[in-house]
């Protein structure tokens, strides 16, 4: 029975249907290299430390660093409640939920709309995440704790949370090694990384699970909105579950009979929620451009990914020609000239970018420069008894993926966000421990 089945349950059914426990493990390196190529990253990978390790979901932890309160995962001192202050600051702990999903759950339980919940950053569904949010002041200070979400009151304040209050994210990785680990070589690599930084590519996960969002943005800029929607509905990804791939392939055979396609996708309503919304509008007679005007967030997502794709190709080219890239590199702009990207846009058959602003009524991108190399703010590590705890902080808009893949060539493991034991992390105990960062550091040495 597949009605109302969640993506997590789909994954569990797929895993349990296979007899070998490490079917999904295989080799992570070739998959990672393929992902890099898919999103425009083309440069010689540095020699990395090859490690064999077991990674559990709780081994990847992200904590926001607040200007006033420090790390969100720590036990913070709660200030006294001030009735005159109209917003309440909370720390939010989640296990396997994105920020957007957590907002929906909190809003439904507190009887408010998700838009009233303000966060400084939107995080993906990571194994364990701590961040801050503000709620509009109710009559009673709410408390919320479920198996995978915990909301703790920290202070009252006069303004809703904004991006300037969060300066960085602290990342913790715990590697449980099962072979000799060359700690001296690792420390040399850390020193070199600190000195020279890492090429600041947009990592593959920004491009969606299927790694196709940038291609959808390209199709929109080519004026092919209908083809972009069809691509979005039916294009399969190499890392999708077989049950999802099968549904997309079966549904495409009925195109353009939207009623029959809806029937196929409705067997997995959670996984195909966005697709079903679009299909219902197409079934009502709306054209592709009309549908996308109402889904401005999709258009912006696809165009952002196209922008990132162009940047990755530009950075790849410059790194091959120049080596270390320390200067600022411009992103594409929807309203200004893009001389740096002239050859890339020509090869993509994209003639004009500004026309899409009016066509889909989206906000134009301002001119923006991005550093060619990524450097962490601070880094610490502990190694004892074959357990390595690596902690580093990055600016809030930077992602850790390229740092980890720069340092390590994993063998016999998934990525740091994988589910090795085929069971979701039991967050009931984890979310009740206070600072996971502190407890892990203690356990490692």
Claim to verify: residue 324 and residue 181 sit in the same structural domain: no
**Per-residue model confidence (pLDDT) at position 170:** 92
Claim to verify: residue 252 and residue 341 sit in the same structural domain: yes
Asked if residue 21 is part of any domain, the answer here is no
Its domain, for residue 321, covers 199-374
Average pLDDT of the chain is 79
Claim to verify: residue 327 and residue 380 sit in the same structural domain: no
Claim to verify: residue 154 and residue 280 sit in the same structural domain: no
Asked if residue 291 is part of any domain, the answer here is yes
- The domain boundary, picked from 321, 346, 374, lies at 374
- The domain boundary, picked from 320, 355, 374, lies at 374
Asked if residue 258 is part of any domain, the answer here is yes
Claim to verify: residue 251 and residue 300 sit in the same structural domain: yes
Claim to verify: residue 277 and residue 402 sit in the same structural domain: no
Beta-carbon count within 10 A of 289 CB: 14
Q: Model-level pTM?
A: 0.77
Total domains in the chain come to 3
Report the pLDDT averaged over residues 51-80.
Answer: 75
Percent of the chain with pLDDT over 90: 27
Claim to verify: residue 184 and residue 221 sit in the same structural domain: no
Asked if residue 20 is part of any domain, the answer here is no
Q: Between residues 207 and 25, which one has the greater pLDDT?
A: 207
Claim to verify: residue 242 and residue 311 sit in the same structural domain: yes
- The answer to which of 48-57, 198-207, 216-225, 310-319 has the lowest mean pLDDT is 48-57
Sequence-distant (6+) residues with CB within 8 A of 351 are: 345
Q: With 90 as the cut, is the pLDDT of residue 225 above it?
A: yes
**Per-residue model confidence (pLDDT) at position 253:** 95
- Taking only the tens place, the pLDDT of each residue in 38-58 is 888 887 777 788 777 766 666
Claim to verify: residue 271 and residue 300 sit in the same structural domain: yes
Claim to verify: residue 413 and residue 361 sit in the same structural domain: no
R_g of the chain, CA atoms, integer Å:
23
End-to-end, the C-alpha distance of the chain in Å comes to 48
Claim to verify: residue 218 and residue 362 sit in the same structural domain: yes
Asked if residue 394 is part of any domain, the answer here is yes
- Residue 85 near residue 137 (C-beta atoms within 8 A): yes
Q: Provide the sign of the torsion angle of the four alpha carbons 34, 39, 44, 45, taken in this order.
A: negative
Asked if residue 74 is part of any domain, the answer here is yes
Q: With 70 as the cut, is the pLDDT of residue 387 above it?
A: yes
- Taking only the tens place, the pLDDT of each residue in 293-337 is 998 889 989 999 999 999 999 999 888 888 767 788 889 888 777
Asked if residue 383 is part of any domain, the answer here is yes
Q: What is the DSSP letter of 339?
A: G
Claim to verify: residue 344 and residue 221 sit in the same structural domain: yes
Asked if residue 10 is part of any domain, the answer here is no
- The domain boundary, picked from 351, 374, 397, lies at 374
CATH number for the domain including 162? 3.30.70.3160
């Amino acid at each position: 029975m597949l009605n109302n089945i969640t993506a997590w349950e789909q994954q569990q059914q797929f895993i349990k249907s296979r007899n070998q426990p490490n079917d999904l493990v295989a080799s992570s390196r070739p998959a990672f290299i393929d992902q890099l190529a898919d999103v425009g990253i083309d440069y010689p990978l540095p020699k990395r430390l090859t490690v064999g390790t077991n990674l559990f979901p709780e081994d990847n932890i992200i904590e926001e660093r607040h200007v006033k309160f420090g790390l969100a995962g720590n036990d913070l001192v709660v200030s006294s409640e001030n009735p005159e202050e109209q917003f309440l600051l909370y720390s939010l702990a989640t296990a396997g939920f994105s920020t957007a999903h957590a907002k929906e759950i909190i809003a439904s339980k507190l009887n408010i709309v998700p838009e009233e919940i303000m966060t400084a950053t939107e995080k993906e569904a990571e194994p364990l995440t701590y961040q801050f949010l503000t709620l509009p002041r109710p009559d009673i200070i709410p408390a919320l704790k479920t198996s995978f979400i915990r909301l703790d009151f920290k202070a009252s304040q006069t303004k809703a949370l904004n991006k300037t209050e969060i300066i960085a994210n602290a990342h913790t990785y715990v590697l449980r090694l099962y072979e000799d680990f060359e700690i001296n070589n690792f420390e040399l690599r850390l020193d070199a990384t600190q000195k020279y930084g890492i090429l600041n590519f947009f990592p593959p996960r920004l491009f969606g699970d299927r790694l196709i969002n940038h291609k959808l943005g390209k199709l929109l800029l080519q004026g092919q909105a209908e083809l972009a929607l069809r691509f979005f509905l039916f294009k399969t990804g190499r890392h999708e579950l077989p049950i999802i791939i099968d549904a997309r392939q079966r549904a495409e055979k009925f195109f353009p009979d939207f009623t029959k396609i809806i029937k196929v996708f409705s067997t997995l309503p959670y996984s195909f929620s966005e697709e079903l919304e679009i299909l219902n509008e197409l079934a009502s007679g709306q054209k592709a451009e009309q549908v996308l005007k109402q889904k401005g967030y999709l258009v912006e997502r696809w165009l952002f990914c196209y922008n990132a794709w162009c940047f990755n190709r530009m950075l790849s080219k410059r790194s091959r020609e120049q080596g270390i890239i320390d200067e600022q590199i411009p992103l594409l702009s929807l309203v200004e000239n893009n001389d740096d990207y002239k050859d890339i846009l020509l090869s993509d058959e994209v003639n004009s970018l500004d026309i899409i602003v009016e066509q889909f009524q989206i906000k134009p991108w301002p001119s923006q420069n991005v550093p060619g190399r990524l450097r962490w703010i601070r880094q610490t590590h502990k190694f004892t008894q074959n357990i390595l705890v690596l902690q580093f902080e990055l600016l809030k808009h930077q992602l850790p993926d390229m740092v980890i893949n720069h340092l390590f060539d994993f063998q016999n493991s998934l990525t740091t966000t994988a589910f090795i034991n085929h069971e979701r992390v039991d967050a009931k105990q984890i979310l009740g421990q206070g600072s996971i960062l502190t407890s892990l550091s203690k356990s490692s040495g």
